[in-house]
Structure formats: structure tokens, C-alpha cells
Amino acid sequence: MLITGVSGFVGQKLAARFLEAGHRVIGVDLRAGDFNFARHPEFQFYAADLTDPASVADLPFENVDLLYHLAAAGVKAATRQWPLCVRVNVMGTATLMQAFLQRVNQGQSVPRIVYAKTYYKDHLGAIPAFQENPYVVSKVAATRWVEALSAVYPQSITIAKVFQVYGPGDDPNNVLSYAARTLKAGEKATFGSGNSLRDWIYIDDFIADLIACGADHGIGLHRFDLGSGERHTIREMVELIAELAGADIRHHLSFIKHQTYENTPHRLRDSTELAVRRTHRPEFIEGPKSGFIGSHTLDRLLALNGRLAGKHGKLD
């Protein structure tokens, strides 16, 4: 299979899991990540910029039966600028889809596609802040490209709606990584209102779901929601991490009241609606056969306790 964005938080974990299972993996990214599977005989890395049609044309699509398109800009706040997000998310995705369309027109083989979309997409109209967020807007446009391709594509295309993934390897500036790092160091951690409700999914559970998304679901467009099925506020998550880190909540945590979409009343109602609305679940090809594939979020955080306390352990 081929994974774009293989050097990212999700891409690295997905590639590792597929390699462990004995698959051949072609990884594509701007530059190689700090892979612990770099020398794996079944792993091949291609440094390529997906916005460059010539680089995309050089990718070895002939024997690829499954493509995970994970490359994106703006997932991390540091890369959330309009020009970059539009170039990578919209133009990069369009370039890749155009390459497949060309292969279809020339009667060449094309892979099944799994595309990771953001759950923010469903709330673009309801939450004004999202309309000013280059990551959200560009991912929405990119998702439309992928959906449009499905009308003429002779393989399954799966749109995976991704909720809030967390766990080792995540962006150090992510709110939970920040909380874990700061509290472990015994420092004071400061947050916004913490009222925003999210469906947090642990990286390992998410990867298992993502793998299930790659199965052949038949020609056409398929949609799966990848979350834990539970919602917790940022505050709940952070307080639990504080407890696990042995930090005194009253002295080490502070939540600042400021006007964001998280705590204005009408927007709070909107963000409360960022619930998991599972359309249907992927057929599991590994892991539990029923119920949510992930343990409950709080159990997962508890499982991280060892890592928080451990010598080498870390949440970020």
C-alpha cells in the first residue's frame, strides 16, 4: 500500500502496524520521519511534494492496491496558514486525485482510497470560527474533491471522519501533550475555558479503525466515523491527567475565561453537538468484533498512567 503523510503522527503509526502485519508499505512525505522501521525490507520511502504534479507522476502506483491519503497542512496549529493549507490540502489532494483519474482514463490499475477528513467539516456552517480556519476550510474542499472522484472511480473510496486523536507521538503543542509535559515537570498549566467537548480517540484504537477502513467495501463512496463514541471536555481530560501525574489540581491548573467558541453560550451549544454520529462502522479485520473498537477514553488515559510515571514514558 501507499501512505501519504507517512512521517506524520498518524502515518508513522499506520505504516508500523502494516509492516508488523507483513505488508509492503510505500511511504510518501516531504521528508523522512524519525522512523523506527526505516530499514525494514518491506518499507520504501519516497520524498515527494504532492502539490508538484511531476513528483506525483513519478510515484510507483502500478502495484499499489490501497492508498491512505493522510498528508495535510494545518493539522498542527504551527502550519495553519491559508496559502500553505490551500496549496497542500486542496491542490495536493487534487493533484493526487487527478493522477488517479488519468490512470482510470488510460485503463491502468488504481488503488482503493482511504481519505482522513476532519469532523469539523460537519460544523463549518454552525461555528463561525471554523469558517476562518484555513485547515478546516481547505480540508472541506479537499474532501469534496475525493467525494467527486468516486462518481467515476472503479474502486472503493472511503472517507474516514476523524475525531480527536491523542497519544504518544502527537504534536507537543496539542492540549493533552502540553498538559502531560507541564504537569509532569511540576509546572503550572494554563488553558482556555476547557469547556469544549470532544470525542477523543487513542492513537492505537484509531489505527485499528483506520486499517479496517482500508478493506474492500465495494465500488463507490463509503463513510465511517472514527471516534471513541464518548465525549469529554478538555477540562475533564486535563484534570484526569493532572490526577495521574500526581499534580495538585488547585495549584497546578488554571482555566482562563475568554471569549472563544468554546465558552460563548450559543457556540457552546454548537460544540456540544460535535458528537459522534456514527454512520456505520467498518468491518473489523483485526481487534474486537463488536462494540467500540477502542477502550473507553478514560480507561485509555488510565493506561497511560504507567507512561506518565515511567522513566521513558510520555504522552507527547
Ligand X SMILES: NC(=O)c1ccc[n+]([C@@H]2O[C@H](COP(=O)([O-])OP(=O)(O)OC[C@H]3O[C@@H](n4cnc5c(N)ncnc54)[C@H](O)[C@@H]3O)[C@@H](O)[C@H]2O)c1
Q: What angle do CA 300, 210, 38 make, to 5 degrees?
A: 90
Q: Which stretch binds ligand X (CB under 6 A): 2-10, 143-151, 262-270, 271-279?
A: 2-10
Nearest one of 151, 59, 47, 67 to 110, comparing CA atoms: 67
Angle, to 10 degrees, between the axis of helix 234-244 and the axis of helix 175-184? 30
Smallest distance from the beta carbon of 52 to ligand X, in angstroms?
8
User: Residue 107 CB, nearest distance to ligand X (Å)?
Assistant: 27
Q: How far is the CB of 265 from ligand X (least distance, A)?
A: 26
Q: Determine how many CB atoms are found less than 10 A away from the CB of residue 214.
A: 24
Q: Quick check: 7 binds ligand X (CB under 6 A)?
A: yes
Among 3, 8, 26, 198, interactor with ligand X by CB under 6 A: 8
Using an 8 Å Cβ cutoff, are 127 and 271 in contact?
Answer: yes
Hey, which residues between 132 and 191 contact ligand X (CB under 6 A)? 139, 162, 164-165
Least CB distance from residue 221 to ligand X, whole Å?
18
Distance, CA of 66 to CA of 237 (rounded, Å)? 35
What does the angle CA 223 – CA 62 – CA 138 come to, to the nearest 5 degrees? Answer: 40
Shortest distance (Å) from residue 176 CB to ligand X: 11
Give the total of residues touching ligand X (CB under 6 A).
26
Which CB atom, from 162 or from 189, has the smaller least distance to ligand X?
162
* Residue 30 binding ligand X, by CB under 6 A: yes
- Which of 1, 2, 3, 10 binds ligand X (CB under 6 A)? It is 10
Nearest residue to ligand X, scored by beta-carbon proximity: 8
Site for ligand X in 245-284 (CB under 6 A): none
The residue written with cell numbers 502495484 in the block is 63
Is the Cβ–Cβ distance between 207 and 10 less than 8 Å?
A: yes
Whose Cβ is closer to ligand X: residue 9's or residue 153's?
9
CB of 188 to ligand X, least distance (A): 26
Q: Could you give the string, one character per residue 53-92, with x where binding to ligand X holds by CB under 6 A and - elsewhere?
A: -----------------xxxx-xx-----------x---x
Burial 94-132 (b: 16+ CB within 10 A, else e): bbbbebbbeeeeeeeebbbbbbbbbbbbbbbebbebbee
Strand partners of residue 255: 191
Which of 75, 74, 162 has the alpha carbon at shortest distance from 114? 162
At closest approach, how far in Å is the CB of 290 from ligand X? Answer: 25
Answer for the pair 121, 72: CB distance below 8 angstroms, yes or no.
no
Contact string (CB under 6 A) for ligand X, positions 110-129, x = contact = ------x-x-----------
Residues near ligand X, by CB under 6 A: 4-5, 7-11, 29-30, 49-51, 70-73, 75-76, 88, 92, 116, 118, 139, 162, 164-165
